[in-house]
Chain A
């Protein structure tokens, strides 16, 4: 069963704009991860944020985590056409595995 749910399901922006995607989850977590999937390919890990962290950066990516609201956001700044992909959040479950949400489909128009 899915643990995380991304919002929105789809997002379309112009190149250079910022893209924000949100993830909500239901139970306590140890960490939350964000992945990207280009069409027809496997998922690629982007960033991991632990439950005791509130914000993390990696290049143009900024992830926040609010454990009180059981939510996380992924911000991509100065988006590029190459950022077009689906983005998934994943949270750990009781059996030490990760459960993925349904994903946000991001389209960046050149």
Chain B
């Protein structure tokens, strides 16, 4: 298996622009997670899906952030409009069943908002 696939790997955009991050989980995994990592705040869970349904989105910073999982093999995290403080590395992870299982992380998307 190719593992969790994220795209793009790097994104540089200007403040106010819309940003869409993409994730393909490992085939057969039922849970998907979006994380954000910064030096200041560490690794933060943004949202957790189980069987394509959002279970916990309490970590989503504000209404500018939205996440979707239209099917078992694809998820997006959208930021609109983006702000410089959104600059971070965004990780997607998947696990076989629930969030208590081992999570398999993608390589991350490094987002820079100028």
Residues of A within 8 A of B (CB): 2, 30-31, 33, 35, 40-45, 48, 88, 90, 92-93, 95-103
B4-35, CB < 8 A from A: 4, 33, 35
> Given A41-B107, A42-B93, A42-B107, A103 and B42 touching (CB < 8 A)?
yes
Segment among B63-71, B77-85, B96-104 that sits at the interface with chain A: B96-104
A-B contact pairs, 6 of them (CB 8 A): A48-B102, A95-B56, A97-B48, A99-B45, A100-B45, A101-B42
Chain B residues within CB distance 8 Å of chain A: 4, 33, 35, 42-43, 45, 48, 50, 55-56, 91, 93, 98-100, 102-108
Q: A87 to nearest B CB, angstroms?
A: 12
B91 touches A42 (CB 8 A): yes
Residues of A close to B102: CB separation below 8 A? 33, 45, 48
